[in-house]
Structure 1
Amino acid sequence: MPTPFNHLRVAQQLLKDPDVPPGTRHLLQVERSAFLLGNIAADARVSSGLPRAETHFYQYDQPMIEHPWQVMLSRYPIMATNEVQQAFIAGYVAHLSMDELWTTEILLPLFFEREWGIDRGYRFFMLNVLLAYLDERDYGHLEGWQADALFAARPDHWLPFIPDPDLCAWRDLVAQQLVNESQTLSILGARARRTPEEFRAVLDSPSKMQADLWDNVPPDAVQQVERHMYTFAREQMLVYLDSSA
């Protein structure tokens, strides 16, 4: 559930991470266009209309018996035929791993399984406010090379379940926002049935953020989960790359 810009910031960090073995880091840096696209590809469903479970390989109301990326490879034994596809799948694994922990450590325990605020609908709005807050933070940290690198990605039957035209359309939608401006509030607003102005009224008010969000979802807890998400994404990505070598 993290936004594309959250995933792109993690991808940016992974490309520099000294805990990623040098040879692996070199592969990802050389094929960074494919790696970036892999890190956002699961959300191509937003523009393609694919059901979420078909690209993320889990459902919110069912327990995760296996890591979603392992479910993906069990269902679709994707054998990377070259390094560019391998880098793409590595990014996809990192994405699914981040979303897995977001679901189990943020979404379910803090928003779906707890009663706070006016009602569940308002908690859903606050969930999207949190996403918007983190999105704006990470958007501001993305380096200038990312737009051109993302535009340069050329999928060639890298996935059996998302057609190349859908991947390209999603690539362009995200990359164009790196060139111009973010559309996150409009996208989240459509999901939450709120206007961008309603988001801004909360995001731009420290008192509203504190009373409506942080008093119920402590920022320290969010930061702890984010650290866990990053290390878990790195760990699972390396497991995949080791198994596909």
Structure 2
Amino acid sequence: MPTPFMHLASAQEILADDLPARVSCLLNEQRGAFLLGNTGPDVQTVSGQAREETHFYAIPRTSRRPAYQTLVAAHPQLVRVDELPASQVAFVAGYVAHLTLDEIWLEDVFLRYFSGDEGSWRERAFAHNVLRTWMDAQARRKVDDTVIVALKNAALDGWLPFVADEHLRQWRDWLIEQLAPGHHVQTAEVFARRMGVSAGEIEAMLRSPEQMEAQVFRRIPRAALRAFHDEGLKRSVAVIKRYVCGDINSVVTQ
């Protein structure tokens, strides 16, 4: 699914969107919490939890219910936004945006373009991870230096009933380390370990426009990536507005 940097870049676009005054005020005043929330479900890499425990859906899918609805059904206290601290509301708003973007990627990118019969599963998975690494690098360039300061100012305080603050702090600190100027981003290494290949193999393809065209963009047209971006922004903004206004269960997802 989208990488943490892709989620952070998306969060910055959401903050710059034409949001209702109430929503814009909240998210910008609690920017660090909102940014962290947009990466929140990926805390599983630190906490060791199963995907279903932080993302609220399984792969392959066992239900068509949107993940954010499964989240709020399991933890209804998170919907009572008038009773929650502003920082927690902003964090959860980012969290449901992450879940929404992940599901769009799963359906519109991964399943549509990388789960067919063309080539072996290993070849398709490799191309998918190269694509994500390529998009991650683009997203990283869009994440400005103020994000580090905002994340450092995110004062965690029991925002999630199913993840310990300790794990969220570790996750936040890892993000800050990755964002530090001059730091080597480990996206290629992370994907390489999962696939049992070297990071050099991913990086070699990224350096070759010919291989990128033949192995990645032959599978998925760039227009599909633009459509993913536009649909992701639209639906993320929709779910955030509904959540902040206490009406999350009425979000139209299609």
TM-score if structure 2 supplies the norm length? 0.92
- How far has the Cα of 1:182 moved from its partner? 1.4
Q: In the alignment, residue 97 of structure 1 is paired with which amino acid?
A: T
Q: In the alignment, residue 149 of structure 1 is paired with which amino acid?
A: A
Contact 1:60 1:103 in 2 (8 A): no
SS in 2 for 1:212: helix
Q: 1:162 aligns to what?
A: 163
Q: In the alignment, residue 177 of structure 1 is paired with which amino acid?
A: Q
- How far has the Cα of 1:63 moved from its partner? 4.3
- How far has the Cα of 1:231 moved from its partner? 0.9
Q: In the alignment, residue 3 of structure 2 is paired with which amino acid?
A: T
In 1: Cα distance, 2:9 partner to 2:63 partner? 26
185-194 vs 210-219, greater mean Cα deviation: 185-194
Give the 5 Å matches for 1:80-95. 80=81, 81-95=84-98
Note the alpha carbon deviations across 1:175-194, whole angstroms, 9 max, x for none. Answer: 11111231111111112222
Contact 1:57 1:69 in 2 (8 A): yes
Q: 2:17 aligns to what?
A: 17
Q: 1:5 aligns to what?
A: 5
Q: In the alignment, residue 138 of structure 1 is paired with which amino acid?
A: A
Q: In the alignment, residue 10 of structure 1 is paired with which amino acid?
A: S
Q: Name structure 1 gaps, 5 residues minimum.
A: none
**Structure 1 residue 44 corresponds to structure 2 residue 64:** no
Q: In the alignment, residue 204 of structure 1 is paired with which amino acid?
A: R
Identity of aligned residues (%): 34
In 2: Cα distance, 1:10 partner to 1:87 partner? 15
In 2: Cα distance, 1:228 partner to 1:93 partner? 15
- How far has the Cα of 1:244 moved from its partner? 6.1
Contact 1:98 1:229 in 2 (8 A): yes
- How far has the Cα of 1:151 moved from its partner? 1.7
Give the 5 Å matches for 1:58-69. 58-69=57-68
- How far has the Cα of 1:7 moved from its partner? 0.5
In 1: Cα distance, 2:42 partner to 2:199 partner? 21
In 1: Cα distance, 2:155 partner to 2:188 partner? 28
Q: 1:130 aligns to what?
A: 131
Contact 1:202 1:208 in 2 (8 A): yes
Contact 1:128 1:192 in 2 (8 A): no
Distance 1:88 1:2, change over 3 A: same
- How far has the Cα of 1:29 moved from its partner? 0.5
Q: Name structure 2 gaps, 5 residues minimum.
A: 249-254
Contact 1:116 1:216 in 2 (8 A): no
In 2: Cα distance, 1:193 partner to 1:13 partner? 34
**Structure 1 residue 210 corresponds to structure 2 residue 213:** yes
Contact 2:114 2:219 in 1 (8 A): no
SS in 2 for 1:15: helix
In 2: Cα distance, 1:155 partner to 1:106 partner? 33
Q: In the alignment, residue 35 of structure 1 is paired with which amino acid?
A: F
Q: 2:103 aligns to what?
A: 100
In 1: Cα distance, 2:247 partner to 2:170 partner? 28
Q: In the alignment, residue 121 of structure 2 is paired with which amino acid?
A: R
Contact 2:189 2:199 in 1 (8 A): yes
In 2: Cα distance, 1:50 partner to 1:170 partner? 13
Give the 5 Å matches for 1:131-210. 131-179=132-180, 180-210=183-213
SS in 2 for 1:198: helix
- How far has the Cα of 1:216 moved from its partner? 1.3
Note the alpha carbon deviations across 1:67-89, whole angstroms, 9 max, x for none. Answer: 10111010111244111100000
SS in 2 for 1:243: coil
SS in 1 for 2:236: helix
Q: In the alignment, residue 26 of structure 2 is paired with which amino acid?
A: L
Q: 2:252 aligns to what?
A: none
Note the alpha carbon deviations across 1:144-173, whole angstroms, 9 max, x for none. Answer: 100111122121111011110000000010
Where has structure 1 moved over 2 Å in runs of 4 or more?
A: 62-65
Q: 1:235 aligns to what?
A: 238
Q: In the alignment, residue 159 of structure 1 is paired with which amino acid?
A: L
TM-score if structure 1 supplies the norm length? 0.95
